[in-house]
Amino acid sequence: MELLFARTQLKDKPQKVQLEDIKDKLSKEGEKIFYFDKENSHKDMMKLVTSLEDDNLNVYFREVKYGLSDDEYMYEVHVL
């Protein structure tokens, strides 16, 4: 599964990442917080959460608003 990390600048394109790369980072570092772009579908984000929980990890997922507009948000995934 391919996901998009959150943009660091509004005009930049989001960086792509594979689910396996995320799992590799977690196996090396343990606890980690990831920020994903709003262009990811909610369905894909739920697949990510389910996949990580299947690996016996605790996952906290939420939408983070960073502006007043409804389309100014990103997804935060905190994995323990």
Secondary structure class of 7 (helix, strand, coil): coil
Question: pLDDT tens digits, residue range 19-71?
Answer: 999 999 999 998 999 999 999 999 999 999 999 999 999 999 999 999 898 88
Cα separation, 3 vs 70, in Å, equals: 21
- Tell me the average pLDDT across 3-25: 94
Q: Can you give the pTM of this predicted structure?
A: 0.91
- Tell me the average pLDDT across 3-19: 93
